[in-house]
Amino acid sequence: MENEITIIETIENKIFTIRGQKVMIDRDLAQLYGVETKRLNEAVKRNINRFPVHFMFKLTDSEQKELVANCDRFKNLKHSTSNAYAFTEHGVTMLASVLNSDKAIEISIKIVETFIALRQYVAIQTNNSTEIEELKKLLMLHIENTDNRFNEHEETIKYIINVFNSLIEKPRETKHIGFNTK
């Protein structure tokens, strides 16, 4: 169980947000699958019809520069003549079928499970923010529709609204995964 948690944490640290999509970089995937990046990309090129643009895309020069600037493990890409590939969750799944090894299948399953867990986490955070916003509106509506009965509790009510605002603006401490590009 502990080994599985370590694998999932390792995968989480290799997921980035680029072009508004959660992706993994070819070099990280090759490492996880236990193959050379060159071999992984060769397998993809031999099966390119399995990788439409919403499964995989090549990083632009500026995206690659930002990746290198934000992650020390990609410093060897700084002077690379070709840009890295980014694979979406669906592209990662397709890689398992192209690489066709037990390890590729096992790692792909873990990667997909990690993507699913991230989606669930985002959904929960979004739902929490919506609920807080609704509570805040309800409280404000209640205050507006009362006479002076709440004057003695005005400071407490303001405090509650400030807490709601801080929860919306600064959600609970979360682990940052990846980076966003423009």
Task: Write down the H helix ranges in the chain.
Answer: 2-12, 26-33, 37-46, 61-70, 89-99, 102-144, 154-169
How far apart (Å, rounded) are the C-alpha atoms in residues 96 and 161? 49
Q: Given the structure tokens 């986490």, which residue do they identify?
A: 121
Q: Given the structure tokens 């398992």, which residue do they identify?
A: 96
Tens place of pLDDT per residue across the chain (182 aa): 556 667 667 777 888 889 988 899 999 999 888 889 999 999 999 999 999 999 999 999 999 999 898 888 888 888 888 899 999 988 988 887 788 777 777 777 777 777 777 667 666 666 556 666 666 666 566 555 555 555 555 566 666 666 656 655 544 444 444 555 44
Q: What pLDDT score was predicted for residue 99?
A: 81
pTM greater than 0.75 (yes/no): no
Cα separations in angstroms, 1 against 4, 5, 10, 180? 5, 6, 14, 31
Sheet holding 56-58, edge to edge: 15-18, 21-25, 85-87, 56-58
DSSP 15: E
Q: What pLDDT score was predicted for residue 106?
A: 75
Amino acid at 138: L
